Amino acid sequence: MSSKSLIDAGKVSGRKTISPETKQSLLGLAMVLPSFAILLVVVIIPIIQSFFLSLSNGEGGYDLSRYTYLFTDKGMRSNIIFTLRVTVITCVLVMLVSYSLAIYMRFNQGPIVNLIRKTYMIPLFIPGVIATYGLINLLGNHGWLARLIGLVGLELPRIIFDQKGIIIANLWFNIPFTTMLLSSALAGIPSSVIESAKDVGVGRLTLFTKFIFPLSYKTFLVAITFVFMGVIGSFTAPYLIGPNSPQMLGVSMQQVFSVFQEREQAAAIAFFSFLLCSVLGAFYIRSMAEEEKAKM
């Protein structure tokens, strides 16, 4: 064999080929990069900027005085407690109603079930501002419900411009989407599993706690995470039908930013709200990671 042939053979043998696994990994990375770039520009960078802005003390230095104010000022403490209370109550009510509707539609048939399936998604297609305006006309002191019961000598208690109004509005916004998620999860549970459990005499409560809920637990976490983040960051309903004091954190942040022109304090409220959402987000990610490890 000539020396030229030996050199060419050495080049061919020394050339590195990309394995199919590596190609697949690079393809997956290329598909993820656009979404990550959008997330970086729209979410991550603004969060970092808000954090550093919240540390500014207005005198050219950096400290935690803005966050100290959140917990030492009586009004801000009331806003935080009010926001958490509304969020927790809303999450509990949404999950109870949505789970009940999803289970009822999964294990029952008939005209009522068909009616629910055709109508429960309607609130998703009504803009929040319009829905809130409708609640004002319905439940306000001079709304048509107050006028209707006034004909029989009754007086409608105060519902809107209060904590109750915000909760009712958030129920309207969140129940349809949550019911849709849970219905999809319950639809994936094999009927044979349910029927086998019933055949051996399993009661309804045991059937739910031992079979239905564990098989839909992942979707349950997804749903409650979305509801929690949506309520804690809500603005339209709390601004239009919420009380003047205390306020939800979203409304309080808008007031601090636009009325009092305190950008640093508004940034501190925004970053604190992000931390509250991150707690539930971290719990969700940890639960999913533990579940994946259990499957391996």
Distance CA 197, CA 203 (A): 9
Q: Is residue 280's pLDDT more than 50?
A: yes
Categorize the per-residue pLDDT at 15 as very low, low, confident or very high, splitting at 50, 70 and 90: low
Q: Longest Cα pair distance anywhere in the chain, in angstroms? A: 112
Sign of CA dihedral 235, 232, 87, 208: positive
Mean pLDDT across the stretch 80-89? 95
Give the per-residue SS3 of 25-73: HHHHHHHHHHHHHHHHHHHHHHHHHHHHHHCECCCCCECCHHHHHHHHC
Contact 173, 132 (CB under 8 A): no
Distance CA 50, CA 272 (A): 10
Q: For residue 15, what is the DSSP state?
A: P
Contact 237, 128 (CB under 8 A): yes
Q: Give percent above pLDDT 90 in the chain.
A: 41
Q: Which domains does the chain have, with CATH numbers?
A: 73-295 (1.10.3720.10)
Contact 231, 86 (CB under 8 A): yes
Contact 241, 136 (CB under 8 A): yes
Instruction: Give the tens place of pLDDT for each residue, 146-192.
Output: 888 888 888 888 888 889 999 999 999 999 999 999 999 998 888 88
Distance CA 193, CA 13 (A): 57
Instruction: Give the tens place of pLDDT for each residue, 194-235.
Output: 888 888 888 888 888 888 888 888 899 989 999 999 999 899
Contact 215, 189 (CB under 8 A): yes
- What is residue 210's predicted lDDT score, i.e. its pLDDT? 87
Instruction: Give the tens place of pLDDT for each residue, 16-38.
Output: 567 777 878 788 788 888 888 88
Pinpoint the alpha helices (H) of the chain: 3-14, 20-39, 45-54, 65-72, 74-107, 111-119, 128-139, 144-150, 163-187, 191-199, 204-207, 213-215, 217-232, 236-241, 249-254, 263-295
